[in-house]
Every structure is written in structure tokens, then in C-alpha cells.
Amino acid sequence: MLHSLIFFAGMILLVILSSVDLIINLTIICFFLIISIVLKLPFFTIISKIKYFIFALLAIYSLSTPGEILFYYSFISVTHEGLYFGINNSLRIMNTFLTIMILMKFIPKKFFINFIIKICYPLKYFGLNMDNLTSRIFLTFDYLDFYKNYSLTFSNFIEVINDHIKNKSHVMNTKKIERVIPSVIDYYWIIGFFSSFILIQFF
């Protein structure tokens, strides 16, 4: 129940982040910084991993958004509106990743796996094999756990994967996979989330 509540709150926050302004985004990221310091979470590590994406957002919005010109040289022009949207969307992306980091800190892996399976469960009536889906999702998460400590780069990614395939490295940590069947309460959570999502769009 507690994990469901935390996950629900996180999903609502992700929805809210899509429509808040610069001041609120800045307030949220300061709040995340305080939480990260208290709980010793890798705040700056997360930001560092998406730094190129952030720089790209700043450049695209600053150079392509029409408005009041702040800087002009040759064919390059930076507008006030572009700078505002660039900073705001960069903060939004950072808050999104930090929200996911917080969720993964407090919610176990099994909860995420069960959630994905339960969301896909209605597809069973359209021919989806739930046993195959369940095994593939468990295996995917085990692979993520297995490779998260590797320093994968564009240059060595294929090499590392090929080495493990050739060596037939053991990856699957899950010995027994339980069949996941959604309960009535799970559908209440899903209906509550989508209802909250619809209501937020009107405010």
C-alpha cells in the first residue's frame, strides 16, 4: 500500500511537471537537492549523465524561439523567451529524472515489474501471452542490474555484450517467477491516476 501511494504521488508529480513555470521548477529542484543531501542520493551524478541533453535543450530553445533579442551576432540570435523556455525545460527534465531516482530509491524492483505486467494485463484478451511477457520483463530488469556496474560507452558497448554472450555469463537472478494477476485495488489505483491526470489538464 505504501509503495503504491509513493508511486502514485510520483506519477502525479511527473504529470504536474509538464505544466509548471520556471519558479516552481526551480523550487522543486532545490527541494530534490535537499532530499538528496539528507538521504545521500547521487544528485549531481544524475545531472552529469544528462548534461549534454540539457545543453542541447538550452541551445535549441535559445536559438530557435522568436522574441525579444538579447544577443545577436551574424546568423546567431538569442531571445529572452528562448532562454526562459530553455532553462525551464532543462529544469523540467532534471526534475523528471530526479523524481524517477527518488521512486527507485523507495520502491523495490519487484513493484515496478508487477506494475508493468498489470498495466499490460488487459492485452491478454487480445492474444498477448502473459507468461512470455512476465519472463521477458524479469529478464530485462536482471540484465539492467547486471550491467549497471559496467562502464559502457559507444566504443565498447558491442564488445562487452559479445563477451558475455560468448562466455554464456549467468545473468538471470530470479529463480522462480510468480504469475502476476491484477486485483480490484490495482484497477482503482489506475483509474485514480488517469482521473487525476484528466483533472490536472483543466487547471
- How much is the pTM? 0.70
Give the integer Cα–Cα distance in Å for 115 and 70. 47
What beta strand segments (E) does the chain contain? Answer: 69-73, 76-79
Per-residue pLDDT in tens (0 to 9) along the chain, 203 residues: 677 778 778 878 888 888 888 999 999 999 999 999 998 888 888 888 888 889 998 988 888 888 888 877 777 888 888 889 999 999 999 999 999 888 888 888 788 778 878 878 878 888 888 878 777 777 777 766 665 555 555 555 566 666 665 555 555 555 566 777 777 887 777 787 777 777 766 66
Non-local CB neighbours of 45 within 8 Å, separated by 6+ positions: none
